[in-house]
Amino acid sequence: MDFNTLLLRLGLDPDDFINKESVPVKTEEGFLYEAEQRTDIRKCPYCLSEDCRIQDRRYSEINCSENDHIRDILRLKKVRFLCRKCGRTFTPPLNGIRRGAAISEQTRNMIVKDFAKQMTFSEIAGRYGISSARVIQIFDEVIGFVPRKKMPFALCIDEIRFREKEGQNYCCVLYDFNGRNIVDIIRNRQMAYLDEYFPTIPEAERRNVKYFISDMYDGYRTVRKRYFPSALHIVDLFHVVSQMTRAVSRIRTSAMKKMEENSLEYRFMKRYWRFFLCRKEDIPEKTYESKKTGLSYSLEDLVFRCVLKDQDLLLAYNALQDLYHYNQQFFTFGEAHIFINKFADRLTVSGNALLEEVGATYRKWAVEIANGLARSQSGKHYTNGIAESINNHLKTIIKAAYGYHNFERFRKRAMMIITYKKELR
């Protein structure tokens, strides 16, 4: 490849260099190229005099890598001039290389593009042969501010656990239900933080939010009333159901404690716990073979057999199944409200403390739950399903240890990867 073409490929301006043939040197990790800054254009940037002489020459190495795991290093011979008129020294700038930088602009831009990809900082570092610390430094320099998105028509609010240096907390994620992306991430879901955040959003923009979808965290009720008075508050079914599945799961555990450890029921309940939490019809049509007796049973039959062994488990299991099946029906708000209150009553008189607690929560949130169940309220079914899927994505981002000890960095990176990805391409 001819020298000028090579410089262009590396994102540099051939006009800045003396055009002479240079043979790339193969190194262990890639190639080393040499280039020398031209010396015939001399103009002092301070006094504009052209009466300058060469003071000295210096070498520097610039990382110009553009491929995975091939290190392109440019060894630059730079020139420093002394202005005879004003007595100051200067090095003419080079296009594509920032003053003092060890990485070319082109490589730096490629690194910045990678910030929107599902790559850890250390993976990016490995790609260009630089340190993770340097990559994080570029991130902090370049990605100064990632703005939130506009408040959407249907706003989902949910939390995700985030570990900071000082321990862990729940940060609060705002989702656009229809746009399927993140509107913003708030450092902490505690009221003090939410009260600081929401007033910064213009009231007119908040008024555009027509549906406010959340779980049954008390703070969200306050947020809805204070900042989104014109939005319908919906507690999504996912969280309604998960309260019940959590209770069933704990009741199953205590039922097991009362059983013989090597009984068929005990072993089945321990291994196939998830069949006690799913819809009846989702239990696979398979058989379970008892190692002790050699007899085989259908999974569904065994679930019922276990459930019948314990009065509390029977109550809890049936209630969960009823909840699953009621939500498939259509409701007006009035019907849904009656349903959830009756359901809460049923749990309240169950005699089981866990179920009573769930019943009390449902009663407390009956209006918001009914809003979610009643299709007439919203015309369509709003559930936090999208929040759940983006939440899983966020958890992957956190788990992959992208180098966040710092909430702001995490927020920016997560929004780049999930929300701004398309725009950055």
Residues of the shown chain interacting with Zn ion in the complex, contacts defined by CB under 5 A: 44, 46-47, 49, 83, 85-86
Amino acid at 179: G
For the bound state, the minimum distance from the C-beta of residue 91 to Zn ion, rounded and expressed in Å, comes to: 13
**Cβ–Cβ < 8 Å for 212, 183:** no
Q: Which is nearer to Zn ion, 84 or 325 (CB)?
A: 84
**To the nearest whole angstrom, how small is the minimum distance from the Cβ of residue 100 to Zn ion?**
21
CA-CA distances (angstroms) from residue 418 to 121, 181, 240, 352, 410? Answer: 16, 7, 27, 43, 12
Q: Which two tokens stand for residue 92?
A: 């003419």
Looking at residue 167, the DSSP 8-state letter turns out to be: E
Nearer to Zn ion, 90 or 175 (CB): 90
Q: How far is the CB of 81 from Zn ion (least distance, A)?
A: 9
What tokens were used for 344? 């809460």
- Return the number of the residue (51 or 289) whose C-beta is nearest Zn ion: 51
CB of 85 to Zn ion, least distance (A): 5
Question: By C-beta, is 42 or 412 nearer to Zn ion?
Answer: 42
What would the two tokens of residue 64 be?
């110009």
Angle at 347 between CA 343 and CA 350, to 5 degrees: 140
Whichever of 81 and 197 has its CB closer to Zn ion, that residue is 81
Q: How far is the CB of 6 from Zn ion (least distance, A)?
A: 33
Nearest CA among 411, 417, 423 for reference residue 145: 411
Q: What is the DSSP string of 123-144?
A: HHHHHHT--HHHHHHHHHHH--
The residue (of 69 and 88) whose beta carbon lies closer to Zn ion is 88
In angstroms, give the least distance from the CB of 92 to Zn ion: 13
For the stretch 125-144, what's the b/e string if a residue is b when 16 or more beta carbons lie within 10 angstroms of its beta carbon? bbbbbbeeebbbebbeeebe
